Amino acid sequence: MRMLSMIFVLAGIAIASSSSSDPAFHKELKQFAAEYKKWGRVDDEARWAPELCRMPLPPKTYVSKSEDETTHGRKLYSLFAKDRNSFLKLSEQKSVSAGQVIVKQSWIPEEIEGDAAETARKQFHLDTTRWVRVSGQVKPMGSRTEHDHFAPYALKDDKVFKGTKQADLFLMYKVDAATPDTDQGWVYGTVTPDGKTVTSAGKVQSCMACHAEAKVDRLFGLASK
């Protein structure tokens, strides 16, 4: 799934970086950051963020000379949706109802090797497609709604990575499309891992630029591995 913001930093090139933090949306973002774990994960897999996701930088000119993707690169993420069933049927919809909330819980990845990597491959089926259809619904293989079976492991270039530390929270929630200062009803935000500090809120341009390409009302759905 293409979630949530792109980092506008090019190696060796100085560009302006800015973020929006509308205080009108802080209360809701903090509330969702405090309760999202109760909704349950959309599925039990860790995925690579398709864009260079990171917390927004404060307004300034920023220069990066790093060629190391771990410095500002992709993270592993796990997805939560307030209305999970609706999200899983996203491809059947033309729009998303007000009240939907999406939270991307990101993780800092660390490569693991040797026996630990082989064990993770087998135990968490990293080399296979884990989605199955049950009673007409697509569900992650082995998942149970009453328990959290999240496996913070993922493959990249045939290497095994583990999410060792929780990082930023990326959120978006839908209100009435006529609500001022929203992206056709969508509010974007980023919150620190502890859920206490909102670092961007409202019409966050980096988030909007990415989600404008989504096929269904600013949402991409689940990406295949």
**From CA 106, how far away is CA 74, in angstroms rounded?**
10
Strand-pair category, 131-134 with 137-140: antiparallel
pLDDT tier at 149 (50, 70, 90 boundaries)? low
**Domains within the chain, CATH numbers bracketed:** 15-211 (3.50.70)
pLDDT at 82 over 80: yes
Planar angle of CA 76, 187, 25, nearest 5 degrees: 110
- Whole-number pLDDT of residue 47: 76
Q: Do the beta carbons of residue 60 and residue 17 sit within 8 Å? A: yes
Closest alpha carbon to 111 in 56, 185, 164? 164
What CA–CA distances, in Å, run from 124 to 1, 76, 80, 100, 129? 20, 15, 20, 29, 11
**From CA 132, how far away is CA 144, in angstroms rounded?**
13
Residues 6+ apart with CB under 8 A from 34: 195
Strand, coil or helix: 57: coil
What CA–CA distances, in Å, run from 203 to 82, 117, 132? 21, 40, 36
Mean pLDDT of 137-162: 67
Strand, coil or helix: 212: coil
What CA–CA distances, in Å, run from 152 to 19, 51, 59, 138, 213? 29, 19, 33, 21, 28
**pLDDT tens for each residue of 105-143:** 988 888 999 998 898 888 777 776 555 555 555 555 544
Q: Does the predicted model carry a pTM greater than 0.85?
A: no
Q: Do the beta carbons of residue 10 and residue 127 sit within 8 Å? A: no
**pLDDT tens for each residue of 208-224:** 888 988 889 999 887 65
Top pLDDT among 60 and 148 is at: 148
